[in-house]
Amino acid sequence: MHSAITRVWYRWLAIGLLAVFAHTAGAAAPGGVDAAMLAPLAASDTDAKLVAIAALGQLPDPAAARVLEALNTGALFATPAGRVLIGPGSAGGAARDPIDGSTLAMPADASAITINNRLRRAIAGALAASRLFADDVQVRLQAAQRLQSGSDVALLPTLDAAREKEQHPAVREALDIARANLALQSDDPARRRSAAELLGNTESAAFRPVLAALATPRADGSFAETDASVREAAVNALKQIDRHQALIEWTGNLFYGISLGSVLLLAAIGLAITFGLIGVINMAHGELLMIGAYTTYMTQTFFRQWLPAWIDWYVIAALPLAFAITALVGMALERTVIRWLYGRPLETLLATWGISLILMQAVRTLFGAQNVEVSNPSWMSGGVTVLGGLVLTYNRIAIIVFAALVVFLVWLLLNHTRLGLFVRAITQNRRMADCVGVPTGRIDMLAFGLGSGIAGLAGVALSQLSNVGPDLGRGYIVDSFMVVVLGGVGQLAGTVIAAMGLGTVNKFLEPYAGAVLAKIIILVLIVLIVQKRPQGLFAPRGRSVE
Protein backbone atom coordinates (compact mmCIF):
# COMPACT_ATOMS: atom_id res chain seq x y z
CA MET A 1 0.00 0.00 0.00
CA HIS A 2 1.02 3.57 -0.55
CA SER A 3 3.33 4.54 2.29
CA ALA A 4 1.82 7.99 2.85
CA ILE A 5 -1.62 6.52 3.14
CA THR A 6 -0.38 3.93 5.59
CA ARG A 7 1.18 6.62 7.72
CA VAL A 8 -1.95 8.70 7.74
CA TRP A 9 -3.90 5.59 8.56
CA TYR A 10 -1.66 4.79 11.52
CA ARG A 11 -1.97 8.32 12.77
CA TRP A 12 -5.74 8.18 12.64
CA LEU A 13 -5.68 4.80 14.29
CA ALA A 14 -3.48 6.16 17.06
CA ILE A 15 -5.78 9.11 17.58
CA GLY A 16 -8.78 6.83 17.49
CA LEU A 17 -7.27 4.54 20.12
CA LEU A 18 -6.38 7.47 22.32
CA ALA A 19 -9.90 8.69 21.88
CA VAL A 20 -11.24 5.35 23.01
CA PHE A 21 -9.04 5.54 26.11
CA ALA A 22 -10.17 9.07 26.75
CA HIS A 23 -13.70 7.88 26.33
CA THR A 24 -13.30 5.10 28.89
CA ALA A 25 -11.50 7.50 31.20
CA GLY A 26 -14.45 9.82 31.00
CA ALA A 27 -16.80 6.99 31.86
CA ALA A 28 -17.03 8.22 35.42
CA ALA A 29 -19.19 11.06 34.17
CA PRO A 30 -20.84 9.10 31.39
CA GLY A 31 -20.91 10.88 28.07
CA GLY A 32 -20.39 14.33 29.53
CA VAL A 33 -17.80 17.02 28.94
CA ASP A 34 -15.64 17.70 31.98
CA ALA A 35 -13.02 20.29 32.73
CA ALA A 36 -10.18 17.77 32.51
CA MET A 37 -11.05 17.06 28.88
CA LEU A 38 -11.03 20.74 28.01
CA ALA A 39 -7.79 21.61 29.76
CA PRO A 40 -5.50 20.43 26.89
CA LEU A 41 -7.28 22.84 24.53
CA ALA A 42 -5.94 25.76 26.53
CA ALA A 43 -2.39 24.42 26.46
CA SER A 44 0.03 24.98 23.59
CA ASP A 45 0.76 21.32 22.76
CA THR A 46 -0.83 20.51 19.40
CA ASP A 47 -0.78 16.75 19.89
CA ALA A 48 -2.62 17.02 23.21
CA LYS A 49 -5.17 19.26 21.53
CA LEU A 50 -5.67 16.66 18.80
CA VAL A 51 -6.36 13.95 21.37
CA ALA A 52 -8.81 16.21 23.19
CA ILE A 53 -10.62 17.06 19.95
CA ALA A 54 -10.93 13.41 18.98
CA ALA A 55 -12.23 12.60 22.45
CA LEU A 56 -14.81 15.36 22.28
CA GLY A 57 -15.90 14.14 18.87
CA GLN A 58 -16.75 10.72 20.31
CA LEU A 59 -19.07 12.13 22.95
CA PRO A 60 -22.81 12.12 22.29
CA ASP A 61 -23.08 15.19 24.56
CA PRO A 62 -24.25 18.26 22.60
CA ALA A 63 -21.95 20.34 24.82
CA ALA A 64 -18.98 18.60 23.15
CA ALA A 65 -20.19 19.64 19.70
CA ARG A 66 -20.69 23.19 21.02
CA VAL A 67 -17.09 23.33 22.21
CA LEU A 68 -15.79 22.02 18.88
CA GLU A 69 -17.89 24.49 16.90
CA ALA A 70 -16.62 27.33 19.07
CA LEU A 71 -13.03 26.19 18.65
CA ASN A 72 -13.52 25.98 14.90
CA THR A 73 -14.86 29.53 14.64
CA GLY A 74 -12.29 31.02 17.02
CA ALA A 75 -14.92 31.67 19.70
CA LEU A 76 -13.32 29.43 22.32
CA PHE A 77 -11.35 31.38 24.89
CA ALA A 78 -8.87 30.38 27.55
CA THR A 79 -7.42 32.19 30.53
CA PRO A 80 -3.73 31.84 31.43
CA ALA A 81 -4.90 29.73 34.38
CA GLY A 82 -6.29 27.16 31.94
CA ARG A 83 -10.00 27.93 32.29
CA VAL A 84 -11.84 27.36 29.00
CA LEU A 85 -15.00 29.21 28.06
CA ILE A 86 -17.08 29.98 25.01
CA GLY A 87 -16.86 33.64 24.10
CA PRO A 88 -19.72 35.89 23.08
CA GLY A 89 -20.71 35.59 19.43
CA SER A 90 -20.39 38.40 16.93
CA ALA A 91 -23.83 39.58 18.05
CA GLY A 92 -22.40 40.29 21.51
CA GLY A 93 -23.68 38.98 24.80
CA ALA A 94 -22.02 37.24 27.67
CA ALA A 95 -19.50 34.40 27.70
CA ARG A 96 -20.78 30.91 28.47
CA ASP A 97 -19.47 28.02 30.43
CA PRO A 98 -18.74 25.19 27.99
CA ILE A 99 -19.94 22.44 30.34
CA ASP A 100 -23.28 23.59 31.71
CA GLY A 101 -23.95 26.46 29.32
CA SER A 102 -24.46 29.01 32.13
CA THR A 103 -23.55 32.60 31.31
CA LEU A 104 -20.70 34.34 33.07
CA ALA A 105 -18.59 37.45 32.76
CA MET A 106 -15.65 37.28 30.39
CA PRO A 107 -12.36 37.38 32.36
CA ALA A 108 -10.19 40.27 31.24
CA ASP A 109 -7.15 38.07 30.66
CA ALA A 110 -8.90 35.51 28.43
CA SER A 111 -7.71 35.24 24.85
CA ALA A 112 -9.05 33.29 21.89
CA ILE A 113 -7.49 29.87 21.32
CA THR A 114 -5.79 29.93 17.93
CA ILE A 115 -5.86 26.80 15.82
CA ASN A 116 -3.99 25.74 12.70
CA ASN A 117 -5.07 23.80 9.64
CA ARG A 118 -4.18 20.47 11.18
CA LEU A 119 -6.51 21.14 14.10
CA ARG A 120 -9.21 22.46 11.79
CA ARG A 121 -9.10 19.20 9.84
CA ALA A 122 -9.30 17.20 13.05
CA ILE A 123 -12.27 19.25 14.25
CA ALA A 124 -14.10 18.81 10.96
CA GLY A 125 -13.51 15.06 11.17
CA ALA A 126 -14.59 14.89 14.80
CA LEU A 127 -17.72 16.94 14.16
CA ALA A 128 -18.63 14.95 11.06
CA ALA A 129 -19.12 11.72 12.98
CA SER A 130 -21.59 13.28 15.40
CA ARG A 131 -23.30 15.25 12.64
CA LEU A 132 -24.21 12.02 10.85
CA PHE A 133 -27.15 11.89 13.23
CA ALA A 134 -28.18 15.55 12.91
CA ASP A 135 -31.78 16.47 12.08
CA ASP A 136 -30.95 18.57 9.03
CA VAL A 137 -30.49 16.54 5.82
CA GLN A 138 -27.89 18.97 4.44
CA VAL A 139 -25.78 18.69 7.59
CA ARG A 140 -25.94 14.89 7.43
CA LEU A 141 -25.03 14.92 3.75
CA GLN A 142 -22.05 17.18 4.30
CA ALA A 143 -20.87 15.07 7.21
CA ALA A 144 -21.13 11.90 5.12
CA GLN A 145 -19.24 13.52 2.25
CA ARG A 146 -16.59 14.73 4.64
CA LEU A 147 -16.10 11.17 5.91
CA GLN A 148 -15.70 9.81 2.38
CA SER A 149 -12.12 11.00 2.29
CA GLY A 150 -11.16 9.48 5.64
CA SER A 151 -9.44 6.15 6.06
CA ASP A 152 -10.17 5.58 9.73
CA VAL A 153 -11.57 2.05 10.03
CA ALA A 154 -12.63 2.77 13.60
CA LEU A 155 -15.44 4.84 12.11
CA LEU A 156 -16.97 1.89 10.27
CA PRO A 157 -19.43 0.94 13.05
CA THR A 158 -20.62 4.55 13.26
CA LEU A 159 -21.10 4.67 9.49
CA ASP A 160 -22.97 1.37 9.52
CA ALA A 161 -25.26 2.60 12.26
CA ALA A 162 -25.92 5.82 10.41
CA ARG A 163 -26.61 3.92 7.17
CA GLU A 164 -29.10 1.72 9.02
CA LYS A 165 -31.01 4.72 10.31
CA GLU A 166 -30.77 6.91 7.22
CA GLN A 167 -33.90 7.52 5.14
CA HIS A 168 -32.75 10.15 2.65
CA PRO A 169 -31.45 8.56 -0.60
CA ALA A 170 -28.67 11.12 -1.24
CA VAL A 171 -27.25 10.70 2.25
CA ARG A 172 -27.54 6.92 1.96
CA GLU A 173 -25.54 7.01 -1.24
CA ALA A 174 -22.90 9.24 0.35
CA LEU A 175 -22.67 6.87 3.30
CA ASP A 176 -22.32 3.87 0.99
CA ILE A 177 -19.40 5.53 -0.72
CA ALA A 178 -17.76 6.35 2.60
CA ARG A 179 -18.18 2.73 3.64
CA ALA A 180 -16.84 1.44 0.32
CA ASN A 181 -13.73 3.57 0.77
CA LEU A 182 -13.11 1.84 4.08
CA ALA A 183 -14.12 -1.56 2.69
CA LEU A 184 -11.06 -1.41 0.40
CA GLN A 185 -9.11 -2.30 3.53
CA SER A 186 -11.34 -5.31 4.22
CA ASP A 187 -9.95 -8.88 4.34
CA ASP A 188 -12.67 -10.23 2.07
CA PRO A 189 -11.73 -9.97 -1.68
CA ALA A 190 -15.39 -9.93 -2.71
CA ARG A 191 -16.06 -6.92 -0.51
CA ARG A 192 -12.96 -5.20 -1.84
CA ARG A 193 -14.06 -5.87 -5.41
CA SER A 194 -17.55 -4.52 -4.97
CA ALA A 195 -16.10 -1.51 -3.13
CA ALA A 196 -13.77 -0.79 -6.06
CA GLU A 197 -16.70 -1.05 -8.45
CA LEU A 198 -18.79 1.30 -6.35
CA LEU A 199 -15.98 3.84 -6.14
CA GLY A 200 -15.58 3.63 -9.92
CA ASN A 201 -19.26 4.39 -10.29
CA THR A 202 -18.85 7.61 -8.33
CA GLU A 203 -16.59 8.81 -11.17
CA SER A 204 -14.95 11.07 -8.61
CA ALA A 205 -11.25 11.86 -8.90
CA ALA A 206 -11.01 11.86 -5.10
CA PHE A 207 -10.85 8.05 -5.13
CA ARG A 208 -8.32 7.83 -7.91
CA PRO A 209 -5.28 7.54 -5.61
CA VAL A 210 -6.67 4.66 -3.52
CA LEU A 211 -7.72 2.77 -6.65
CA ALA A 212 -4.43 3.49 -8.38
CA ALA A 213 -2.63 2.16 -5.32
CA LEU A 214 -4.44 -1.15 -5.88
CA ALA A 215 -3.87 -1.33 -9.62
CA THR A 216 -0.28 -0.18 -10.11
CA PRO A 217 2.62 -2.56 -9.51
CA ARG A 218 5.28 -1.77 -6.93
CA ALA A 219 8.97 -1.43 -7.76
CA ASP A 220 9.52 -5.19 -7.44
CA GLY A 221 6.60 -6.03 -9.77
CA SER A 222 4.28 -7.31 -7.03
CA PHE A 223 0.96 -5.70 -6.21
CA ALA A 224 -0.35 -4.30 -2.94
CA GLU A 225 -3.62 -5.97 -3.92
CA THR A 226 -3.17 -9.73 -4.03
CA ASP A 227 -6.44 -10.66 -5.70
CA ALA A 228 -6.38 -10.33 -9.51
CA SER A 229 -10.13 -9.84 -9.88
CA VAL A 230 -10.03 -6.92 -7.46
CA ARG A 231 -7.17 -5.44 -9.47
CA GLU A 232 -9.22 -5.75 -12.61
CA ALA A 233 -12.17 -4.06 -10.95
CA ALA A 234 -9.83 -1.27 -9.85
CA VAL A 235 -8.45 -0.83 -13.37
CA ASN A 236 -11.97 -0.60 -14.77
CA ALA A 237 -12.96 1.84 -12.08
CA LEU A 238 -9.92 3.98 -12.93
CA LYS A 239 -10.89 4.01 -16.61
CA GLN A 240 -14.41 5.05 -15.69
CA ILE A 241 -13.09 7.86 -13.50
CA ASP A 242 -10.64 9.08 -16.15
CA ARG A 243 -13.33 9.18 -18.83
CA HIS A 244 -15.53 11.25 -16.61
CA GLN A 245 -12.65 13.54 -15.63
CA ALA A 246 -11.91 14.21 -19.30
CA LEU A 247 -15.54 15.23 -19.77
CA ILE A 248 -15.34 17.48 -16.71
CA GLU A 249 -12.16 19.06 -17.99
CA TRP A 250 -13.68 19.78 -21.38
CA THR A 251 -16.90 21.21 -19.94
CA GLY A 252 -14.85 23.19 -17.47
CA ASN A 253 -12.73 24.75 -20.21
CA LEU A 254 -15.87 25.66 -22.10
CA PHE A 255 -17.39 27.32 -19.06
CA TYR A 256 -14.16 29.16 -18.21
CA GLY A 257 -13.90 30.27 -21.82
CA ILE A 258 -17.44 31.63 -21.89
CA SER A 259 -16.91 33.35 -18.58
CA LEU A 260 -13.65 34.95 -19.73
CA GLY A 261 -15.44 35.84 -22.96
CA SER A 262 -18.22 37.60 -21.01
CA VAL A 263 -15.67 39.64 -19.08
CA LEU A 264 -13.98 40.65 -22.35
CA LEU A 265 -17.36 41.37 -23.87
CA LEU A 266 -18.47 43.57 -20.98
CA ALA A 267 -15.19 45.47 -21.09
CA ALA A 268 -15.33 45.86 -24.87
CA ILE A 269 -18.98 46.55 -25.60
CA GLY A 270 -18.85 50.17 -24.47
CA LEU A 271 -15.79 50.63 -26.64
CA ALA A 272 -17.56 48.93 -29.54
CA ILE A 273 -20.07 51.77 -29.39
CA THR A 274 -17.65 54.69 -28.98
CA PHE A 275 -14.91 53.31 -31.24
CA GLY A 276 -17.01 51.19 -33.53
CA LEU A 277 -19.96 53.50 -34.07
CA ILE A 278 -18.56 57.02 -33.62
CA GLY A 279 -14.96 56.19 -34.48
CA VAL A 280 -13.39 57.72 -31.38
CA ILE A 281 -10.28 55.97 -30.13
CA ASN A 282 -11.02 56.40 -26.45
CA MET A 283 -7.92 55.50 -24.44
CA ALA A 284 -9.76 56.59 -21.30
CA HIS A 285 -12.22 53.73 -21.72
CA GLY A 286 -10.39 51.67 -19.11
CA GLU A 287 -10.67 54.51 -16.61
CA LEU A 288 -14.44 54.58 -17.17
CA LEU A 289 -14.45 50.91 -16.12
CA MET A 290 -12.47 51.96 -13.07
CA ILE A 291 -14.94 54.71 -12.19
CA GLY A 292 -17.74 52.14 -12.40
CA ALA A 293 -15.84 49.88 -10.02
CA TYR A 294 -15.19 52.72 -7.58
CA THR A 295 -18.89 53.58 -7.70
CA THR A 296 -19.54 50.00 -6.58
CA TYR A 297 -17.10 50.52 -3.75
CA MET A 298 -18.81 53.74 -2.70
CA THR A 299 -22.20 52.05 -2.82
CA GLN A 300 -20.89 49.22 -0.69
CA THR A 301 -19.53 51.69 1.85
CA PHE A 302 -22.86 53.50 1.92
CA PHE A 303 -24.78 50.26 2.42
CA ARG A 304 -22.43 49.13 5.20
CA GLN A 305 -22.94 52.43 6.96
CA TRP A 306 -26.64 53.04 6.49
CA LEU A 307 -28.38 49.90 5.22
CA PRO A 308 -26.48 46.96 6.71
CA ALA A 309 -29.55 44.73 6.44
CA TRP A 310 -29.55 45.15 2.65
CA ILE A 311 -25.82 44.76 2.14
CA ASP A 312 -26.29 41.72 -0.09
CA TRP A 313 -28.05 43.83 -2.69
CA TYR A 314 -25.60 46.68 -2.93
CA VAL A 315 -24.38 45.39 -6.29
CA ILE A 316 -27.84 45.79 -7.79
CA ALA A 317 -28.06 49.33 -6.44
CA ALA A 318 -24.60 50.08 -7.80
CA LEU A 319 -25.65 49.26 -11.39
CA PRO A 320 -27.85 52.31 -12.15
CA LEU A 321 -25.51 54.55 -10.16
CA ALA A 322 -22.44 53.39 -12.05
CA PHE A 323 -24.26 53.77 -15.36
CA ALA A 324 -25.38 57.30 -14.53
CA ILE A 325 -22.03 58.48 -13.18
CA THR A 326 -19.87 57.10 -15.97
CA ALA A 327 -22.37 58.24 -18.61
CA LEU A 328 -22.13 61.77 -17.18
CA VAL A 329 -18.34 61.64 -17.09
CA GLY A 330 -18.35 60.33 -20.66
CA MET A 331 -20.69 63.04 -21.92
CA ALA A 332 -18.66 65.71 -20.17
CA LEU A 333 -15.53 64.38 -21.87
CA GLU A 334 -17.24 64.34 -25.21
CA ARG A 335 -18.55 67.89 -24.89
CA THR A 336 -15.34 69.41 -23.54
CA VAL A 337 -12.56 67.55 -25.33
CA ILE A 338 -13.41 64.88 -27.82
CA ARG A 339 -15.91 66.71 -30.01
CA TRP A 340 -13.26 69.23 -31.01
CA LEU A 341 -11.13 66.40 -32.27
CA TYR A 342 -13.54 64.44 -34.51
CA GLY A 343 -11.77 63.19 -37.59
CA ARG A 344 -8.32 63.54 -36.02
CA PRO A 345 -7.65 60.08 -34.62
CA LEU A 346 -4.08 60.72 -33.48
CA GLU A 347 -5.01 63.83 -31.50
CA THR A 348 -8.02 62.03 -30.01
CA LEU A 349 -5.79 59.17 -28.99
CA LEU A 350 -3.30 61.47 -27.26
CA ALA A 351 -5.97 63.62 -25.63
CA THR A 352 -7.89 60.64 -24.24
CA TRP A 353 -4.62 59.08 -23.09
CA GLY A 354 -3.97 62.26 -21.15
CA ILE A 355 -7.47 62.18 -19.74
CA SER A 356 -6.94 58.60 -18.62
CA LEU A 357 -3.82 59.68 -16.69
CA ILE A 358 -5.70 62.58 -15.11
CA LEU A 359 -8.58 60.32 -14.06
CA MET A 360 -6.20 57.75 -12.58
CA GLN A 361 -4.30 60.34 -10.61
CA ALA A 362 -7.54 61.93 -9.44
CA VAL A 363 -8.75 58.60 -8.09
CA ARG A 364 -5.35 57.98 -6.52
CA THR A 365 -5.54 61.31 -4.75
CA LEU A 366 -9.11 60.77 -3.60
CA PHE A 367 -8.96 57.11 -2.56
CA GLY A 368 -5.25 56.43 -2.19
CA ALA A 369 -2.94 54.29 -4.29
CA GLN A 370 -3.97 51.14 -2.47
CA ASN A 371 -6.68 48.89 -3.81
CA VAL A 372 -10.00 49.16 -2.04
CA GLU A 373 -11.94 46.20 -0.74
CA VAL A 374 -15.07 45.19 -2.62
CA SER A 375 -16.53 41.98 -1.28
CA ASN A 376 -18.84 39.60 -3.09
CA PRO A 377 -22.38 39.59 -1.72
CA SER A 378 -23.16 36.23 -0.15
CA TRP A 379 -25.31 35.14 -3.09
CA MET A 380 -22.32 35.59 -5.36
CA SER A 381 -19.87 33.66 -3.15
CA GLY A 382 -19.24 29.98 -3.55
CA GLY A 383 -20.39 27.83 -6.41
CA VAL A 384 -22.49 24.93 -7.58
CA THR A 385 -20.95 21.53 -8.25
CA VAL A 386 -22.05 19.87 -11.47
CA LEU A 387 -21.04 16.54 -13.01
CA GLY A 388 -19.74 15.51 -9.60
CA GLY A 389 -16.55 17.52 -9.61
CA LEU A 390 -16.82 20.69 -11.67
CA VAL A 391 -17.44 23.81 -9.60
CA LEU A 392 -19.21 26.62 -11.43
CA THR A 393 -18.75 29.68 -9.26
CA TYR A 394 -21.78 31.91 -8.71
CA ASN A 395 -19.95 35.14 -9.47
CA ARG A 396 -18.91 33.82 -12.89
CA ILE A 397 -22.42 32.61 -13.64
CA ALA A 398 -23.84 35.97 -12.57
CA ILE A 399 -21.44 37.77 -14.89
CA ILE A 400 -22.28 35.55 -17.87
CA VAL A 401 -25.98 36.25 -17.33
CA PHE A 402 -25.30 39.94 -16.83
CA ALA A 403 -23.23 40.17 -20.03
CA ALA A 404 -26.04 38.52 -21.99
CA LEU A 405 -28.50 41.00 -20.52
CA VAL A 406 -26.34 44.00 -21.39
CA VAL A 407 -25.89 42.80 -24.97
CA PHE A 408 -29.63 42.32 -25.29
CA LEU A 409 -30.36 45.82 -23.96
CA VAL A 410 -27.79 47.42 -26.24
CA TRP A 411 -29.22 45.55 -29.23
CA LEU A 412 -32.70 46.70 -28.26
CA LEU A 413 -31.50 50.27 -27.93
CA LEU A 414 -29.66 50.33 -31.24
CA ASN A 415 -32.28 48.57 -33.30
CA HIS A 416 -35.60 49.52 -31.76
CA THR A 417 -35.33 53.10 -30.58
CA ARG A 418 -35.12 56.44 -32.27
CA LEU A 419 -31.72 57.09 -30.73
CA GLY A 420 -30.48 53.78 -32.11
CA LEU A 421 -31.80 54.66 -35.53
CA PHE A 422 -29.94 57.98 -35.48
CA VAL A 423 -26.76 56.36 -34.25
CA ARG A 424 -26.89 53.81 -37.07
CA ALA A 425 -27.60 56.55 -39.57
CA ILE A 426 -24.58 58.54 -38.40
CA THR A 427 -22.40 55.46 -38.51
CA GLN A 428 -23.36 54.78 -42.10
CA ASN A 429 -23.09 58.29 -43.44
CA ARG A 430 -22.52 61.19 -41.11
CA ARG A 431 -22.95 64.00 -43.65
CA MET A 432 -26.10 62.58 -45.17
CA ALA A 433 -27.60 62.10 -41.72
CA ASP A 434 -26.72 65.68 -40.90
CA CYS A 435 -28.40 66.85 -44.10
CA VAL A 436 -31.67 65.09 -43.36
CA GLY A 437 -31.86 66.70 -39.95
CA VAL A 438 -30.34 64.23 -37.51
CA PRO A 439 -28.91 66.32 -34.66
CA THR A 440 -25.47 64.73 -34.99
CA GLY A 441 -23.86 66.72 -32.18
CA ARG A 442 -26.45 65.68 -29.64
CA ILE A 443 -26.50 62.08 -30.87
CA ASP A 444 -22.70 61.92 -30.65
CA MET A 445 -22.90 63.05 -27.07
CA LEU A 446 -25.66 60.58 -26.18
CA ALA A 447 -23.95 57.67 -27.94
CA PHE A 448 -20.71 58.48 -26.18
CA GLY A 449 -22.60 58.66 -22.91
CA LEU A 450 -24.19 55.29 -23.63
CA GLY A 451 -20.83 53.69 -24.38
CA SER A 452 -19.36 55.18 -21.22
CA GLY A 453 -22.36 54.14 -19.13
CA ILE A 454 -21.97 50.55 -20.31
CA ALA A 455 -18.31 50.76 -19.36
CA GLY A 456 -19.53 51.74 -15.90
CA LEU A 457 -21.78 48.67 -15.77
CA ALA A 458 -18.81 46.55 -16.78
CA GLY A 459 -16.85 48.17 -13.96
CA VAL A 460 -19.44 46.93 -11.47
CA ALA A 461 -19.07 43.41 -12.85
CA LEU A 462 -15.26 43.56 -12.83
CA SER A 463 -15.24 44.75 -9.22
CA GLN A 464 -16.73 41.36 -8.32
CA LEU A 465 -13.89 39.46 -9.98
CA SER A 466 -10.67 41.31 -9.49
CA ASN A 467 -8.97 44.27 -7.86
CA VAL A 468 -10.47 47.67 -7.53
CA GLY A 469 -7.64 50.15 -7.73
CA PRO A 470 -6.61 53.17 -9.77
CA ASP A 471 -4.89 50.89 -12.31
CA LEU A 472 -7.90 48.66 -12.92
CA GLY A 473 -8.55 50.07 -16.38
CA ARG A 474 -5.01 49.50 -17.62
CA GLY A 475 -5.44 45.75 -17.59
CA TYR A 476 -8.50 45.81 -19.80
CA ILE A 477 -7.88 48.51 -22.38
CA VAL A 478 -5.69 46.37 -24.63
CA ASP A 479 -8.06 43.39 -24.40
CA SER A 480 -11.02 45.63 -25.23
CA PHE A 481 -9.36 47.03 -28.32
CA MET A 482 -8.39 43.51 -29.36
CA VAL A 483 -12.01 42.38 -29.19
CA VAL A 484 -13.36 45.37 -31.08
CA VAL A 485 -10.72 45.23 -33.81
CA LEU A 486 -11.10 41.49 -34.22
CA GLY A 487 -14.88 41.62 -34.27
CA GLY A 488 -15.03 44.24 -36.94
CA VAL A 489 -15.63 47.90 -36.38
CA GLY A 490 -19.26 48.91 -36.04
CA GLN A 491 -20.61 45.42 -35.49
CA LEU A 492 -22.33 44.40 -32.28
CA ALA A 493 -22.59 40.74 -33.31
CA GLY A 494 -18.93 40.76 -34.33
CA THR A 495 -17.94 42.03 -30.89
CA VAL A 496 -19.92 39.29 -29.17
CA ILE A 497 -18.47 36.53 -31.30
CA ALA A 498 -14.93 37.90 -31.08
CA ALA A 499 -15.11 38.13 -27.28
CA MET A 500 -16.49 34.63 -26.87
CA GLY A 501 -14.03 33.24 -29.40
CA LEU A 502 -11.02 34.86 -27.72
CA GLY A 503 -12.17 33.68 -24.30
CA THR A 504 -12.74 30.07 -25.32
CA VAL A 505 -9.60 29.74 -27.42
CA ASN A 506 -7.58 31.20 -24.55
CA LYS A 507 -9.05 28.80 -22.03
CA PHE A 508 -8.63 25.73 -24.21
CA LEU A 509 -5.01 26.69 -24.85
CA GLU A 510 -4.16 27.50 -21.24
CA PRO A 511 -4.02 23.95 -19.82
CA TYR A 512 -1.52 22.96 -22.50
CA ALA A 513 0.47 26.12 -23.05
CA GLY A 514 0.26 27.86 -19.67
CA ALA A 515 -1.20 31.30 -19.04
CA VAL A 516 1.78 33.24 -20.38
CA LEU A 517 2.13 31.37 -23.66
CA ALA A 518 -1.64 31.22 -24.21
CA LYS A 519 -1.78 34.99 -24.14
CA ILE A 520 1.07 35.24 -26.65
CA ILE A 521 -0.53 32.70 -28.99
CA ILE A 522 -3.77 34.66 -28.87
CA LEU A 523 -1.96 37.87 -29.83
CA VAL A 524 -0.22 36.13 -32.73
CA LEU A 525 -3.56 34.73 -33.90
CA ILE A 526 -5.11 38.18 -33.85
CA VAL A 527 -2.23 39.66 -35.82
CA LEU A 528 -2.63 36.92 -38.43
CA ILE A 529 -6.40 37.36 -38.67
CA VAL A 530 -6.18 41.14 -38.94
CA GLN A 531 -3.52 40.71 -41.66
CA LYS A 532 -5.93 38.56 -43.60
CA ARG A 533 -9.03 40.58 -42.82
CA PRO A 534 -8.11 44.16 -41.95
CA GLN A 535 -11.76 45.03 -41.36
CA GLY A 536 -12.07 42.39 -38.67
CA LEU A 537 -13.91 39.10 -38.80
CA PHE A 538 -17.30 40.58 -39.49
CA ALA A 539 -16.77 43.68 -41.56
CA PRO A 540 -19.89 45.47 -42.73
CA ARG A 541 -20.22 45.10 -46.48
CA GLY A 542 -21.09 47.66 -49.10
CA ARG A 543 -20.61 51.34 -49.62
CA SER A 544 -21.00 52.30 -45.99
CA VAL A 545 -17.39 51.33 -45.45
CA GLU A 546 -15.21 54.31 -46.03
Partner 1 sequence: MKRRLVLKQLTAASLLAMSGWMPQLMAAEDTIKVGILHSLSGTMAISETSLKDVALMTIDEINANGGVMGKKLEAVIVDPASNWPLFAEKARQLIAQDKVSVVFGCWTSVSRKSVLPVFKELNSLLFYPVQYEGEELEKNVFYTGAAPNQQAIPAVEYLMSEDGGGAKRFVLLGTDYVYPRTTNKILRAFLHSKGVKDSDIDEVYTPFGHADYQTIVANIKRFSTGGRTAVISTINGDSNVPFYKELGNAGLKATDVPVVAFSVGEEELRGVDTKPLVGHLAAWNYFQSINNPVNTAFIEKWKAYAKAKNLPNANTVVTNDPMEATYVGMHMWKQAVEKAKSTDVDKVIAAMGGQTFAAPDGFTIEMDKTNHHLHKPVFIGEINANGQFDVVWKSKGPIRAQPWSPYIAGNEGKQGL
Name the residue nearer to partner 1 (CB basis): 205 or 413.
Answer: 205
Is the distance from CB of 243 to CB of 425 less than 8 angstroms? no
Are 93 and 85 contacting, i.e. CB atoms less than 8 angstroms apart? no
Selected from 138, 493, 511, 523, the binder of partner 1 by CB under 8 A is 511
Shortest separation between residue 178's beta carbon and partner 1, angstroms: 17
Contact status: 385 vs partner 1 (CB under 8 A): yes
**In this chain, which of 36, 118, 493, 524 binds partner 1, going by CB under 8 A?**
118
With binding defined as CB under 8 A, does residue 347 bind partner 1?
A: no
Q: Which of 475, 521, 529, 540 binds partner 1 (CB under 8 A)?
A: 475
Question: Interface with partner 1 includes 205 (CB under 8 A)?
Answer: yes
Range in contact with partner 1 (rule: CB under 8 A) among 150-158, 222-230, 509-517, 533-541: 509-517
3-state SS class at 40: helix
Let me know the angle formed at the C-alpha of 230 by 224 and 236, rounded to the nearest 5 degrees.
110
Short-list 371, 375, 373, 374, CA closest to 470? 371
**Cβ 415 vs Cβ 422: under 8 Å:** no
Does position 469 bind partner 1 by CB under 8 A? yes
3-state helix, strand, coil in the chain (%, to 5): 70, 5, 25
> What is the C-alpha to C-alpha distance for residues 276 and 285, in angstroms, rounded to an integer?
13
Burial tier of 75 (Cβ tally within 10 Å: 0-12, 13-18, 19+): buried
| 151 lies in the site for partner 1, by CB under 8 A | no
3-state secondary structure of 172: helix
- Verify binding: residue 474, partner 1, rule CB under 8 A: yes
Binding of partner 1 at residue 4 (CB under 8 A)?
A: yes
Asked if 376 is part of the footprint of partner 1 (rule: CB under 8 A), the reply reads yes
Residue 1 touches partner 1, criterion: CB under 8 A: no
Q: How many CA atoms lie within 13 A of 165 on its CB side?
A: 12
Which lies closer to partner 1 via its Cβ, residue 207 or residue 538? 207
**Shortest Å, Cβ 437 to partner 1:** 46
- Does residue 194 belong to the site contacting partner 1 (CB under 8 A)? no
Closest separation in Å from C-beta 349 to partner 1: 20
Segment contacting partner 1 by CB under 8 A, of 29-37, 156-164, 169-177, 257-265: 257-265
Nearest to 139 by CA among 70, 147, 152, 157: 147
- β-strand pairing of 383-386 with 111-112: unpaired
Of 391 and 432, nearer to partner 1 (C-beta) is 391
Residue 359 and residue 375: Cα distance in Å, rounded?
24
**Candidates 94-102, 248-256, 301-309, 312-320; binding stretch for partner 1 (CB under 8 A):** 248-256
Evaluated on CA atoms 13, 14, 19, 25, the torsion sign reads: positive
Residue 384, helix vs strand vs coil: strand
Residues 165 and 2: their CA atoms lie apart, in Å, by: 34
Q: Which stretch binds partner 1 (CB under 8 A): 60-68, 115-123, 318-326, 436-444?
A: 115-123
Residues lying near partner 1 in the complex (CB under 8 A) are found at 4, 8, 46, 74, 114, 116-118, 120-121, 124, 205-206, 208-209, 245, 249, 252-253, 256, 259-260, 263, 361, 364, 367-376, 381-383, 385, 390-391, 393-396, 465-471, 474-475, 507, 510-511, 514-516, 519
